[in-house]
Every structure is written in C-alpha cells, then in structure tokens.
Chain A
Amino acid sequence: MAVLPVRLLPDPVLKAPTQPFDTIDDDARSVGADLLDTMSDASHSVGIAAPQIGVSARAFAVDVSGHSKADSCHGAFVLFNPVLILATNYVVGREGCMSVPDLTGNVARATEVVVQGLDMDGRLRTIEANAFEARALLHELDHVDGLLFLDRVESLSTDVFRRRRYR
C-alpha cells in the first residue's frame, strides 16, 4: 500500500504485454491498494492502470465520484483481469493522460459499456457504466492492453493538441 510514481512515456512498461492474475491473493490486493492510493494521490486522476505504476498486470482502478460529467458512478473500485463485454454509442471527447504529459487528443469512446472483472475479494463483478465513467473504464482497459490515447486518435491534423505549453 503505497503511492507510487506514475510512469511517463517513453517508459517501456506502458507498452509491455500484461499478465492476468491467477488468483486474487495478498499480492494482487497489494497491487490494487497501490492503484487506489496512487490514483487518489494524483490530482485530477479518475483512473489508473497497473502499467502506469510499473506493474505489467491486468488491473486498474477507477473513481469518478463527484465528477461533474459523471452519470453512473460505482465509487472507487479495482478490477482485476477486466474484460469489455459491451460498448456502444460512441462519442468523441478530448482526453489527456497522466503518463503522456503535454498532449491531449480527440478520441471516440463508447458512452455505454459493460465491463467484467474480479474485485479485491476475487468475486466476479459486472460494471454497467455510461458517460464519463464509461470513458474512464475504456481508457484504463486500453492501458492494460498497452494502448495509449495516441493509438486511438483518428486524424492527427485536427486531433492532437498541446496540453500545456510550447517547448
């Protein structure tokens, strides 16, 4: 249980293949706790995936509590071995990522999703989410597959923007 440094591009862990969890044991729960701690420590963060804290494993944490764009909200939770069951109603929105400083991009994401995974007790959990929580889930699912929002941008000339400042 610790706040870990958020890995930044070009750290290869962000693109490395990830391993599923065989069982949700204390080691797995420790990764889950680190995800929750690091997420709540990083301001503006509503989600974080294991590769972002240097762990090549299939897990992420999401918490959209209190976010103005959220509709569905399942509070703070961790999913291990997450699987996307359903994704529909795509909408373009502009995203940034803690691991990709200075850039933002327009990405089409489903606004209604069903995601399944194991919770901290190893029980199967089914999350039906929409709106902002759906976008957060999809962004984190991508991290688990080594994909960054930069891999989702469809038109470079109009879809990638500097976030903060010129260099």
Chain B
Amino acid sequence: MNPEASYPVVVWAGGPDRPGMIAVVATMLYEKGANLEHCAMTQLSGHFTMVMLVSSPVNADELGDYLRSGLAQTHFTDLSVTVRARPLGSERPLDGQRCMVSVYGKDRPGIVAVITTLLAEQGVNVTDATTSVLDAGESVYALLLEVVLPDGLDVAELGPALSSAAQELGVDASIRPIAVDVF
C-alpha cells in the first residue's frame, strides 16, 4: 500500500475479452504507485469489464491520461478507460436484512426497469445484480438481485408486491432472506 496515493478515484475499463487485460491495467496502476482497493471484474458474453476503487497519487484526469496513453503502447488499444474522482463520504452502510430476489420468465422489455423501480420506491438497496438471457427454446430472462431492506420493511410485505409486479410482466418473482452463519 502506498500512503502517498491520496486521490480516491473510480476506474472503469473494458473491451473485447482476452487474456492479460487485468494484468496490464493492474501493472500500470502498480507502477504509478496507485492502490487497488475493492474491485469487480467480470466477463459478459465476450466483453470484459472492470470497475475498480483506486487511491491514486495523481488526480483522476491525470490518471486517466496516464492509463490511456500507456495502453496505446500495448496491444490493448481497444480497451476503453474512464477515471472519475470518488467523493469521500460516499460509503453507504450495508446493515439491514439481506435478501435474494429472483425474477425469471419469458423475455420481454422492462423486466429490470419495473422490478428495480418497485424496489427503489420501497427504499430497498440493490447491492449486486446479475441478469442472463437463457435460450430454452424460447428466450427466458433471469434477473438475480442481492438487496438490503430498509429498517421497518419486512420480507413478508415486499414479497406480495414483487409477485404482483412480476405477474403483470408475465414472469415469476421470489424473495428470501439470506442467513449468514458466523463461526
């Protein structure tokens, strides 16, 4: 960890997937003296995408220029990079009842929009989301969310609201608490 790295930034990078993408970005950040913190990186249908919380020794604009000009010297010229300042104090508490939400059924427009709008209106915070299109003869859409309920909202209240929204979309939805056993 480099204590001189005092600019909190978010780095987004992505492009057509191939081996070495994380290595080239992480190495450039390491050589610049930046600290890589919480990251999520995944491959979606041949596109690799990374989002990284970084503390940088230079400001967001300078780090973005450094990464883009550095990548131009490699064979990862098709990797696009965006860097933005990350306001301090943007941390959000995650305390609260955690639940998994599963929504799936015949694919149609608006599933994610309708379901997440309903959750947002109830003050439910989505902490992880994955969606997939499954080809099961006809197209099936699956949306899996991990959420945190606000104080005072019960799974027993949210479940029926989710089900009726899902029913209007012609899909199924369920919600269940996530129990964590700490040893």
Size category, A interface: 20 to 34
Say whether, besides A157-B42, A161-B128, A93 and B181 are in contact (CB < 8 Å). yes
Contacts of B128 in A (CB 8 A): 161
**Shortest Cβ distance from A52 into B: residue:** B183
User: In the bound complex, do residue B92 and residue A97 qualify as a contact, i.e. CB atoms below 8 Å apart?
Assistant: no
Tell me if B38 and A45 are in contact (CB < 8 A): no
Interface SS of A by simple majority: mixed
In the complex the two chains form, is B181's CB within 8 Å of A95's CB?
yes
Q: Which residues of the partner chain A approach B178 to less than 8 Å between Cβ atoms?
A: 94
Most interface-central of B92, B128, B130, B182 (chain A CB within 10 A): B182
State in angstroms the CA–CA spacing of A125 and B128 once bound together: 44
Cβ proximity bits A47-91 to B, threshold 8 Å, 1 near / 0 not = 110000000000000000000010000000000000000000000
Instruction: Report A163 CB to chain B, min CB distance, Å.
Output: 7
A66 to chain B, nearest CB (A): 14
Interface of B is mostly: strand
In the complex, chain B residues whose CB is within 8 Å of the CB of A69: 179, 181
Q: Does B73 interact with chain A (Cβ within 8 Å)?
A: no
- Give the complex CA separation of A104 and B182 in angstroms: 8
Choose among B38, B42, B95, B180 the residue that contacts A104 (Cβ–Cβ < 8 A): B180
- Among A10-18, A113-121, A132-140, the stretch that binds chain B is A132-140
Identify which of residues 91-120 in chain B touch chain A, using a CB-to-CB cut-off of 8 Å. 91-95
Q: Is B37 an interface residue (CB 8 A)?
A: yes
Q: Which residues of B contact A95 (CB under 8 A)?
A: 180-183
Which of chain A's residues have a CB closer than 8 A to the CB of B74? none
From A94, A98, A161, B179 is in contact (CB under 8 Å) with A94
* B91 nearest CB across to chain A (Å): 5
Q: Using a CB–CB distance below 8 Å, which chain B residues touch chain A? A: 37-38, 42, 91-95, 127-128, 130, 146, 178-183
Closest 3 CB pairs of A and B: A96-B182, A139-B183, A166-B91
A-B contact pairs, 13 of them (CB 8 A): A45-B182, A48-B183, A69-B181, A93-B179, A94-B179, A94-B180, A95-B181, A96-B181, A98-B183, A157-B42, A165-B93, A166-B38, A166-B94
